Structure 1
Amino acid sequence: MSARIRRPAGAAGLTRLLCLVAVVAAVGLLPWLSGRDPALTVLRARSAEQEPTKEALDAVRRDLGLDAGPLSLLGDWAGGLVRGDFGTSWVSGTEVLPSVLSGLQVSLALMGAALAVAVLLACALVAPVLVRGRASAGAFAAMLAAVPEFLLATLVLLAFGVWLGWLPTSGWVGPQYMVLPALALAVPAGGLLGRLVADALPAVLEERWAELWRGAGVSRARISAAALRRVLPPLVPQFGMVAVGLTGGAVAVETVFAVPGIGRTALGAAKSQDLPLLQGAVLALLALGLLAGALAALVRRRLLGPALRDAGLALPPLRPVRTPAAIPVTLFAGLAVTIGWGLLRDPYAVNTTARLAAPSWAHPLGTDGLGRDVLARLGHGAASTVGTAAAVCLLSLLVGLALGFLPGVAAGAADLANALPPVIVGILVAAAAGPGTGGAALAVALISWPPLAAHAAALVQEVRASSFLTAQRAIGAPPVWILTRHVLPSVAAPVARHALLRLPGIALALAALGFLGLGAQPPAPEWGLLLDESRAYVERAPWAALAPAVALALLAGLAVSGASYAQGRGMRKERRGSRVTRPVRKEAPVGAGV
Structure 2
Amino acid sequence: MSGRGWAAALISRVAAFAAVVVLIGSLPWLSGNSPEYTILRARYADREATPEVLAQIRGELGLDRGPIAVFADWASGVFTGDFGTSWISGRPVLPGMLEALGVSLTLMGAALTVALCMAALLCLPVLRAGLAGRPSRGSGAAAAALTALPEFLLAAVLLVIVAVWLNWLPPYGWRGIEYAILPALALGLPGGGLIGRLVATAVAGVFTERWVHTWAVAGHSRARIALAVLHRAMSGVVGQVALVVVGLTGGAVAVEEVFAVPGLGRALLGAAASQDIPTLQAGVLLLLLLAAVCGGAAALIRRSLLGPAGRSGHLPVPGPPLSPRRTWWLVPAISGGALLALIVAGLMRDPYGSVYGRLQSPSWALPLGADASGRDVLARVGHGAVDTLGLALAVTAACLVIGLIIGLTGAWSTGPVEVTNAAPPIIAGILVVAISGPSAAGAAVAVTAVSWAPLAAHTAALVAEISARPYVRSLPQLGVSRARILVGTVLPALLPEVTRHALLRLPGIALALAALGFLGLGPQPPAPEWGLLLAEGIGYVERAPWTVLGPACALVLASVLAVSLSSADGGRNLRPASDLPAPDAEPDDGQKPPRVTDGAGQHSEALAGR
Q: Under a length normalisation based on structure 2, what TM-score does the superposition of the two structures give?
A: 0.89
For the pair 1:502 / 2:505, whether they are aligned, the reply is yes
Work out whether residues 309 and 315 of structure 2, in 8 Å CA contact, stay in contact via their aligned partners in 1.
no
For the pair 1:415 / 2:450, whether they are aligned, the reply is no
In the alignment, the residues of structure 2 paired with residue 181 and residue 188 of structure 1 have an alpha-carbon distance, to the nearest angstrom, of: 12
In the alignment, the residues of structure 1 paired with residue 478 and residue 247 of structure 2 have an alpha-carbon distance, to the nearest angstrom, of: 50
Equivalent residue, structure 2, for 1:15: 12
In the alignment, the residues of structure 2 paired with residue 48 and residue 560 of structure 1 have an alpha-carbon distance, to the nearest angstrom, of: 51
In the alignment, the residues of structure 1 paired with residue 187 and residue 255 of structure 2 have an alpha-carbon distance, to the nearest angstrom, of: 7
Work out whether residues 12 and 413 of structure 1, in 8 Å CA contact, stay in contact via their aligned partners in 2.
no
Could you say if the C-alpha distance between residues 473 and 95 of structure 1 is closer, same or farther in structure 2, counting changes exceeding 3 Å? closer
Could you say if the C-alpha distance between residues 41 and 463 of structure 1 is closer, same or farther in structure 2, counting changes exceeding 3 Å? same
In the alignment, the residues of structure 1 paired with residue 483 and residue 121 of structure 2 have an alpha-carbon distance, to the nearest angstrom, of: 53
SS in 1 for 2:353: coil
Question: For residues 530-554 of structure 1, what are the alpha-carbon distances to aligned partners after superposition, in whole Å with 9 as ceiling and x for unaligned?
Answer: 1111111111111111211111000
For the pair 1:152 / 2:154, whether they are aligned, the reply is yes
Work out whether residues 200 and 318 of structure 1, in 8 Å CA contact, stay in contact via their aligned partners in 2.
no
Equivalent residue, structure 2, for 1:235: 237
Work out whether residues 138 and 321 of structure 1, in 8 Å CA contact, stay in contact via their aligned partners in 2.
no
Equivalent residue, structure 2, for 1:303: 305
SS in 1 for 2:603: coil
Corresponding residue to 1:106 among 103, 106, 115? 103
Could you say if the C-alpha distance between residues 159 and 441 of structure 1 is closer, same or farther in structure 2, counting changes exceeding 3 Å? same
Work out whether residues 208 and 321 of structure 2, in 8 Å CA contact, stay in contact via their aligned partners in 1.
no
Corresponding residue to 1:515 among 512, 515, 518? 518
For the pair 1:281 / 2:283, whether they are aligned, the reply is yes
In the alignment, the residues of structure 2 paired with residue 99 and residue 115 of structure 1 have an alpha-carbon distance, to the nearest angstrom, of: 24
1:306 CA displacement: 5.5
User: Is the deviation greater in 224-233 or in 458-467?
Assistant: 458-467
Task: Give matches, 1:186-197, under 5 Å.
Answer: 186-197=188-199
Equivalent residue, structure 1, for 2:603: 590
Work out whether residues 209 and 317 of structure 2, in 8 Å CA contact, stay in contact via their aligned partners in 1.
no
1:61 CA displacement: 0.6
For the pair 1:253 / 2:259, whether they are aligned, the reply is no
1:7 CA displacement: 1.4
In the alignment, the residues of structure 1 paired with residue 113 and residue 509 of structure 2 have an alpha-carbon distance, to the nearest angstrom, of: 28
Question: For residues 237-260 of structure 1, what are the alpha-carbon distances to aligned partners after superposition, in whole Å with 9 as ceiling and x for unaligned?
Answer: 112111111111111111111111
Task: Give matches, 1:536-555, under 5 Å.
Answer: 536-555=539-558
1:138 CA displacement: 3.0
Equivalent residue, structure 1, for 2:586: none
Task: Give matches, 1:344-359, under 5 Å.
Answer: 344-351=348-355, 354-359=357-362
In the alignment, the residues of structure 2 paired with residue 543 and residue 214 of structure 1 have an alpha-carbon distance, to the nearest angstrom, of: 55
Equivalent residue, structure 1, for 2:266: 264
Could you say if the C-alpha distance between residues 569 and 137 of structure 1 is closer, same or farther in structure 2, counting changes exceeding 3 Å? closer
RMSD: 2.6
1:148 CA displacement: 2.2
1:375 CA displacement: 1.1
SS in 2 for 1:429: helix
Work out whether residues 320 and 590 of structure 1, in 8 Å CA contact, stay in contact via their aligned partners in 2.
no
User: Is the deviation greater in 459-468 or in 505-514?
Assistant: 459-468
Equivalent residue, structure 1, for 2:588: none
In the alignment, the residues of structure 2 paired with residue 484 and residue 416 of structure 1 have an alpha-carbon distance, to the nearest angstrom, of: 27
For the pair 1:450 / 2:465, whether they are aligned, the reply is no
In the alignment, the residues of structure 2 paired with residue 190 and residue 173 of structure 1 have an alpha-carbon distance, to the nearest angstrom, of: 26
Work out whether residues 12 and 412 of structure 1, in 8 Å CA contact, stay in contact via their aligned partners in 2.
yes
- Higher RCO, 1 vs 2 (CA within 8 Å, ≥6 residues apart): 2
Equivalent residue, structure 2, for 1:488: 491
Q: Under a length normalisation based on structure 1, what TM-score does the superposition of the two structures give?
A: 0.91
Equivalent residue, structure 1, for 2:50: 53
User: Is the deviation greater in 71-80 or in 466-475?
Assistant: 466-475
In the alignment, the residues of structure 2 paired with residue 166 and residue 321 of structure 1 have an alpha-carbon distance, to the nearest angstrom, of: 43
1:569 CA displacement: 6.6
Work out whether residues 126 and 198 of structure 1, in 8 Å CA contact, stay in contact via their aligned partners in 2.
yes
Task: Give matches, 1:524-535, under 5 Å.
Answer: 524-535=527-538
Corresponding residue to 2:429 among 421, 426, 431? 426
1:556 CA displacement: 0.1
In the alignment, the residues of structure 1 paired with residue 511 and residue 304 of structure 2 have an alpha-carbon distance, to the nearest angstrom, of: 36
Work out whether residues 494 and 587 of structure 1, in 8 Å CA contact, stay in contact via their aligned partners in 2.
yes
Work out whether residues 361 and 544 of structure 2, in 8 Å CA contact, stay in contact via their aligned partners in 1.
yes
In the alignment, the residues of structure 2 paired with residue 39 and residue 355 of structure 1 have an alpha-carbon distance, to the nearest angstrom, of: 41
One-letter amino acid of the counterpart of residue 540, structure 1: R
Corresponding residue to 1:379 among 370, 375, 382? 382
Equivalent residue, structure 2, for 1:581: none
Query: Aligned residue pairs: how many?
Result: 578
Structure 1, unaligned stretches of length 5 or more? Answer: 572-583
Question: For residues 294-349 of structure 1, what are the alpha-carbon distances to aligned partners after superposition, in whole Å with 9 as ceiling and x for unaligned?
Answer: 11112223333456446385686997974632332322222222212212222222
Question: For residues 7-58 of structure 1, what are the alpha-carbon distances to aligned partners after superposition, in whole Å with 9 as ceiling and x for unaligned?
Answer: 1222112111111111122112211111111110000001223221111111
Could you say if the C-alpha distance between residues 321 and 412 of structure 1 is closer, same or farther in structure 2, counting changes exceeding 3 Å? farther
Equivalent residue, structure 2, for 1:579: none
Corresponding residue to 1:368 among 368, 371, 378? 371
1:477 CA displacement: 6.3
1:508 CA displacement: 0.6
Question: For residues 460-512 of structure 1, what are the alpha-carbon distances to aligned partners after superposition, in whole Å with 9 as ceiling and x for unaligned?
Answer: 34444445556776776676665554433222222222211111111111111
Question: For residues 89-136 of structure 1, what are the alpha-carbon distances to aligned partners after superposition, in whole Å with 9 as ceiling and x for unaligned?
Answer: 222222212211111111111011111111111111122223221436
One-letter amino acid of the counterpart of residue 348, structure 1: Y
Could you say if the C-alpha distance between residues 464 and 356 of structure 1 is closer, same or farther in structure 2, counting changes exceeding 3 Å? same
Question: For residues 161-204 of structure 1, what are the alpha-carbon distances to aligned partners after superposition, in whole Å with 9 as ceiling and x for unaligned?
Answer: 23332222211112111111001111122112212222222343
One-letter amino acid of the counterpart of residue 329, structure 2: A
In the alignment, the residues of structure 1 paired with residue 321 and residue 6 of structure 2 have an alpha-carbon distance, to the nearest angstrom, of: 27
Equivalent residue, structure 1, for 2:176: 174
Corresponding residue to 1:399 among 397, 402, 412? 402
Work out whether residues 12 and 411 of structure 1, in 8 Å CA contact, stay in contact via their aligned partners in 2.
yes
SS in 2 for 1:590: helix
Structure 2, unaligned stretches of length 5 or more? Answer: 575-594
For the pair 1:119 / 2:122, whether they are aligned, the reply is no
Work out whether residues 101 and 264 of structure 2, in 8 Å CA contact, stay in contact via their aligned partners in 1.
yes
Work out whether residues 239 and 302 of structure 2, in 8 Å CA contact, stay in contact via their aligned partners in 1.
yes
Equivalent residue, structure 2, for 1:578: none
In the alignment, the residues of structure 2 paired with residue 117 and residue 319 of structure 1 have an alpha-carbon distance, to the nearest angstrom, of: 30
In the alignment, the residues of structure 1 paired with residue 353 and residue 46 of structure 2 have an alpha-carbon distance, to the nearest angstrom, of: 36
SS in 2 for 1:84: coil
User: Is the deviation greater in 110-119 or in 215-224?
Assistant: 215-224
Could you say if the C-alpha distance between residues 541 and 228 of structure 1 is closer, same or farther in structure 2, counting changes exceeding 3 Å? same
Could you say if the C-alpha distance between residues 31 and 470 of structure 1 is closer, same or farther in structure 2, counting changes exceeding 3 Å? closer
Could you say if the C-alpha distance between residues 157 and 34 of structure 1 is closer, same or farther in structure 2, counting changes exceeding 3 Å? same
- Percent of aligned pairs with the same residue? 53
For the pair 1:335 / 2:339, whether they are aligned, the reply is yes
Work out whether residues 234 and 312 of structure 1, in 8 Å CA contact, stay in contact via their aligned partners in 2.
no
